[in-house]
Amino acid sequence: MWTANHWKDYEVLDTSCGEKLERWGKYLLVRPDPQVIWNTPKKNPGWEKKNGHYHRSSKGGGEWEFFRLPDEWSIHYQELTFRLKPFSFKHTGLFPEQAANWDWFAPLIRDAKRPVKVLNLFAYTGGATLAAAKAGASVTHVDASKGMVAWAKENAIASGLGDAPIRWLVDDCVKFVEREIRRGNTYDAIIMDPPSYGRGPKGEIWKIEESIFPFIQLTAKVLSKDALFYLVNSYTTGLQPAVLSYMINTAIVPDFGGYVTADEIGLPVAESGLILPCGASGRWQRMPNIPPQPTAPQ
């Protein structure tokens, strides 16, 4: 499992009874998590000192209950800053487990020693966009939500990347890629985090089980001949790492060669010392990351 274990401003403190207790900076939130199917004693004192609690409704959805929580606040990951605010369906505007992927692709960009163009699709509030830009890439950030793109811009400014070469686009991702193919534009890296279900700005329907593989095939057409990496992330039940690996191997490797890996991504849990699974990612790159080998003694 690929674990986001370099956070200082965020941690999962404990998990039990369908919920996780998290520290976001100096604030504690309790949120539902479908992976937490165990019923263990709630030993961490933070359960009683929470600043926000998202209560799931039996009819679907739910609502927040707040205790001395500001409307907005910020946390940091290395040199990046993210503005947070609780909003609909338990979210805060950031998926901290994605840092496992940022830590993977940032060195690939830095070590390329050449200009790198990154396309980030379904780009949300810009975590991957900022990580890629901070590593030195020029990024095209595409999301169908005007509000999410505006939020991503705020995060860029807060991270000192307000003048970075980032192109911000509110657009349907499929239609955008189709236009890029017609224009002959290509990218050295593609990142995508597609939703299970969604609608584009003009009502376009996205159902991941029907749409994801044709879309991966489509995006392969805008990879440059010297493409560096390709990343697909999924939170959809049923799209296990092996499924992501199979799709990327089928759509990318025949034309570009390279190497595919896929695994779950997760977050360490402070109370238990175990890892909470948080989704799955499939990664393609020209060559695998091979750590330097120690020099044999002479």
CATH number at residue 62: 2.60.40.1180
In a domain, 298, yes or no: no
Tell me how far apart the alpha carbons of residues 35 and 213 are, in angstroms, rounded to a whole number. 25
Total Cβ atoms within 10 A of residue 246: 15
Q: Are residues 226 and 131 in the same domain?
A: yes
- Whether 62 and 193 map to the same domain: the answer is no
Beta pairing partners, 265: 2
Residue 78 lies in a domain: no
For residue 81, the model assigns a pLDDT of 98
252 part of a folded domain: yes
Domain presence at residue 281? yes
Q: Are residues 23 and 106 in the same domain?
A: no
When divided into structural domains, the chain yields a total of 2
Confirm whether 76 is domain-assigned. Answer: no
Strands (E) in 80-237, as ranges, are 80-84, 117-121, 138-143, 166-170, 189-192, 197-199, 205-207, 229-234
Residues 185, 242, single domain; the answer is: yes
- Do 52 and 135 lie in one domain? The reply is no
pLDDT tens, residue by residue, 237-292? 778 999 999 999 999 999 999 999 999 999 999 999 999 999 999 999 987 554 44
Closest-CA residue to 51 (of 32, 65, 64, 67)? 67
Q: What is the CATH number of the domain that holds 161?
A: 3.40.50.150
Residues 159 and 223 in one domain: yes
pLDDT of residue 80: 98
Residues 146 and 210 in one domain: yes
Q: Does residue 162 lie in a domain region?
A: yes
Q: Kindly state whether residues 56 and 103 are assigned to the same domain.
A: no
103 in a structural domain: yes
Strand segments (E) across 67-105: 73-77, 80-84
Q: Is the per-residue pLDDT at 159 higher than 90? A: yes
Is residue 74 pLDDT above 70, yes or no? yes
Reported pTM:
0.91
The answer on 103 and 67 residing in a single domain is: no
Q: 276: domain range? A: 96-285
Q: Are residues 121 and 267 in the same domain?
A: yes
In a domain, 87, yes or no: no
Q: What is the pLDDT of residues 183-192, one digit of tens each?
A: 999 999 999 9
| Cα gap 66→63, rounded to integer Å | 10
